[in-house]
Amino acid sequence: MVSDVFEMNGWNVHFLGADTPSKDLLKFIDTVNPGIVALSVSIYFHYPELLKIIETIRKKHPLLTIIIGGQGLRHSSGEITKQFDRVYYFPDLYKLEEFIKNFDKYGQKDIDKISR
C-alpha cells in the first residue's frame, strides 16, 4: 500500500515485496541509488532485524532517507528516529501522503521540517 501512495503521487517506485532478504535490499540500493527507501514491519518480533538493516544501510549510505512504518512499530517508533539520522516514522498512510506532498513541494533540504 505504501508503494501505491507514492505511485499515486507521481513517484517512480520499485516494490521489492515482503520478506526481501537484507543482502538483496542492499544490492538494490547499491545498484539503483534510490532517493528514499521505505521499510515496513508487520510484527514487533522483526524489530531487531529492522535495526540491523538500518545500521547497515547507514554505514554505506549515510545520506539516504529511510522511512519506516507498519503495525510492528506502533509502540516503538520514536526510538528508531532518535537513534538514526534521516529515519522518519509514519504511523499511517495519511501521514505518509502528507509527507510525500510536502516533500514534492519543499524537497530534500527541508525534510526534517516536513516530517515532524
CATH number of residue 56's parent domain: 3.40.50
Query: Average of pLDDT values for 33-43?
Result: 92
Domain count, the chain: 1
**Domain span holding position 59:** 2-6+22-115
- Note whether residue 11 is domain-resident: no
pLDDT of residue 114: 44
- Note whether residue 13 is domain-resident: no
Query: Average of pLDDT values for 63-72?
Result: 92
How confident is the prediction for the chain on average, in pLDDT? 85
- Note whether residue 15 is domain-resident: no
pLDDT of residue 82: 87
Q: Is the dihedral of CA 69, 73, 75, 81 positive or negative?
A: negative
- Note whether residue 61 is domain-resident: yes
Name the 3-class secondary structure at 66.
strand
* β pairing state of 65-69 and 36-40: parallel
Q: What percent of the chain has pLDDT over 70?
A: 87
The 36-40 sheet, strands edge to edge: 36-40, 65-69, 87-89
Burial grade of 90 (CB within 10 A; 0-12, 13-18, 19 or more): buried
- Note whether residue 14 is domain-resident: no
